[in-house]
Structure 1
Amino acid sequence: MKPSHNFFNGRNIILFVSTILSLLCLAYFTKGFYHLIFDPTGAKDLHSRWQEQQYIYRGLYPYDMRKDSPQIIAELGPIISGGYPPWAFFTGFVVFPPISWELTRWYHAFLNIISLSILGWFAYQIGRPYGKLKAWFTTVACLSISSHTTTLGLGQYGIIINALLIGVFCFLQNRQNIIAGLLLGLALAKPNISALYFFVLIVRKQTRSVLACCLYILVASSVIGGLVKLSPIYMLFSEIQVASYFVQSGSSGINILMNLGINPAVAIILSGLLATSIILLVLFCIKNSNLIYLFAIASVIGRLWTYHLIYDNVMLIFLLIAVIKMTWDKPNQSNIVVLSLVLMSLVIPAKIAEFPYAIILQSVIWIGSVIYLLIFQKEYQR
Structure 2
Amino acid sequence: MKVSRFFTVCLLLLGVTYTTVASQRWERGQGGDAALRWQQVHYVLRGIDPNLLHQAVANRDDEFAMGLLETEGIRFFEALRLPQRAWPIGEYPPFAYGLAVPLHWPPDVVVADRWFMALSLAAWVLVLLWAAKLTRAGPRGVRCLGFASVFGMVSYPATLAVANYGVVVMGALVASMILLHRQKAAIAGICIGFAMVKPTLAAPFLLVLLCRRSWWVGFATACTLVMGAGALHWLLTGVAPWESQVGASSHLASYTHRAGGVIKASRSWLELPEPWATYGVAAIGLLFGCWLLWWYRSASPLLLFAIAGVIARISFYHRGYDNLLLTFLLQLLLLQAIGTRPASMSLLRCWMPWIAMGITLWLPGRIVAGPLQSLLGVLVWVLLLQIALKRAAPLHHDEKLLHAMRIDQAAASGSGAA
Bigger shift: 43-52 or 203-212? 43-52
Residue 352 of structure 1 aligns to a residue in which SS? helix
Q: Distance in 1 between matches of 2:48 and 2:3?
A: 57
- Structure 1 residue aligned with 2:287: 277
**Corresponding letter in the other structure for 2:197:** A
Gapped regions of structure 1 (runs ≥ 5): 1-9
Tell whether 2:218 aligns with 1:209.
yes
Identity of aligned residues (%): 20
- Structure 2 residue aligned with 1:244: 253
Question: Which of 383, 389, 393 is equivalent to 1:374?
Answer: 389
How big is each residue's C-alpha offset from its partner over 1:324-377, in whole Å with a ceiling of 9 and x where there is no partner? Answer: 111111164333110110011100011212233332332222111011122221
How big is each residue's C-alpha offset from its partner over 1:109-150, in whole Å with a ceiling of 9 and x where there is no partner? Answer: 211221111011110121112145423111011121112222
Deviation at 1:274, TM superposition (A): 0.5
Tell whether 2:44 aligns with 1:34.
no
- Structure 1 residue aligned with 2:324: 314
Q: Distance in 1 between matches of 2:163 and 2:248?
A: 21
Q: Distance in 2 between matches of 1:57 and 1:235?
A: 15
- Structure 2 residue aligned with 1:359: 374
- Structure 1 residue aligned with 2:408: none
Q: Distance in 1 between matches of 2:193 and 2:35?
A: 23
Q: How many residues align?
A: 370
Q: Distance in 2 between matches of 1:31 and 1:43?
A: 16
Q: Distance in 1 between matches of 2:378 and 2:278?
A: 19
- Structure 1 residue aligned with 2:122: 114
Distance 1:232 1:14, change over 3 A: same
Q: Distance in 1 between matches of 2:132 and 2:34?
A: 29
CA contact (8 A) 1:63 1:79 kept: no
Residue 379 of structure 1 aligns to a residue in which SS? coil
**Corresponding letter in the other structure for 1:316:** L
Tell whether 2:111 aligns with 1:103.
yes
* TM-score for the superposition, normalised by structure 2: 0.84
Question: Which of 227, 234, 244 is equivalent to 2:236?
Answer: 227
Distance 1:271 1:217, change over 3 A: same
Structure 1 stretches of 4+ moved >4 Å: none
* TM-score for the superposition, normalised by structure 1: 0.92
Distance 1:128 1:234, change over 3 A: same
Matches within 5 A, 1:133-172: 133-172=141-180
Gapped regions of structure 2 (runs ≥ 5): 61-68, 401-418
- Structure 1 residue aligned with 2:200: 192
Q: Distance in 2 between matches of 1:329 and 1:267?
A: 41
Distance 1:257 1:78, change over 3 A: farther
Bigger shift: 80-89 or 367-376? 80-89
- Structure 2 residue aligned with 1:338: 353
Deviation at 1:42, TM superposition (A): 4.8
How big is each residue's C-alpha offset from its partner over 1:65-110, in whole Å with a ceiling of 9 and x where there is no partner? Answer: 2334521223425446332112211221111112322223322221
Bigger shift: 26-35 or 297-306? 26-35
Question: Which of 274, 282, 288 is equivalent to 1:264?
Answer: 274
How big is each residue's C-alpha offset from its partner over 1:165-189, in whole Å with a ceiling of 9 and x where there is no partner? Answer: 0011011111111111111110011
- Structure 2 residue aligned with 1:294: 304
Deviation at 1:323, TM superposition (A): 0.6
**Corresponding letter in the other structure for 1:276:** L
Question: Which of 177, 183, 195 is equivalent to 2:185?
Answer: 177
**Corresponding letter in the other structure for 1:134:** V
CA contact (8 A) 1:33 1:109 kept: no
Distance 1:80 1:93, change over 3 A: closer
Residue 246 of structure 1 aligns to a residue in which SS? helix
